[in-house]
Structure 1
Amino acid sequence: MSLRLSIPGKPVAWARPRFNRATGAVFTDGRHASYADRVQQEWIAAGRPKLDTGPFRVAVYVEVARPKGHFLRRGSLSKAGVEAGWFPTGRPDIDNIAKGIVDALMAVAAIPDDAAMVELHAAKQYAANVGDGWNVIVVAEPADGARDLLDVVAQVRREATA
């Protein structure tokens, strides 16, 4: 069985737990907890798919909404948009996005312990069209399959935009 999710909206990167020296309490950023809930709700909406124990692989693909300044009025890329290219280099960091999603899926037992993850693909790219917002595609499957995980991500992207 494989797990396929499309999570609309801007992702929140995983944040290290913070320690309050005065009270001794450990806490996490509320935005991260809220995003973990959103990931889990999308997992529930997808039918609660679960991977069996054993080695698995994960792909996380983030489509970033382009700033309005990247487009001309007629919808084509402006000079700033062309110069920016296809790959956003700002925050949130792709590795922390992937970590937050994997942790959220582990919390509901959708995937085994992340120590069993043997392959991770993570990418972030600007969305192609005016009006395309943030979207995150997540694919997890057992590591025994020979098919290319990135082909599966492309298929899920097509399904999410159809």
Structure 2
Amino acid sequence: MSSMSLSFFGDEESSRRTLGIRERQILYDSAQKKCEDCSRDLEFSDVQVGHKTAYSRGGNSTLRNSVSLCYGCNKKQGTDSWDVFQRKQGKTAVIDRMRNMLTELTLQKLKDLAQKHGVKLKGRFHEGGLLNDDYYQAPSKARYVKALVGVVTEKDIKSGLSAMPTPGKTKRRRTTSYWSIF
């Protein structure tokens, strides 16, 4: 006796829990034929598809949610998310330090670093509706930091800061106070 489940339009769950051979090849090539955790060289037949968010915790089987791992690293990860797995191994301390360094910079310096390293961010489009106009919102400082963390190194930040021109002095406008008359 088989149980029958009723599903309404849009309620279907994805039955696919693995990547196809072409997607595995793309993942393998994007990882430069190495394990993304321990950087060990891998043959295509040895690649295990890891996850950033486990299927059991709401993740899905897409390239964006997948990482190329060796057998040992895939077993170590279990159902931990990619961030938790990296933190358990002490690997995100460097990334956290980079994120803190980038957060301390001004938005203009972040824009200059992004331009120097070829990082392009698009603004967000907001529809105004009936009474308001449509507009683009410029990328925020947090979006620049997130985009630059994986691209720049600590050395790049320090050398980039010394190479950036310092902003010129702003001229103060002289104002006279009406109270000085009395």
Classify the TM-score, shorter chain.
under 0.3
Larger strand proportion, structure 1 or 2? Answer: 1
Structure ranking higher on relative contact order (CA contacts 8 Å, 6+ apart): 1
Larger helix proportion, structure 1 or 2? Answer: 2
TM-score computed with the length of structure 2 as normaliser: 0.24
TM-score computed with the length of structure 1 as normaliser: 0.26
Q: Which has the greater radius of gyration?
A: 2
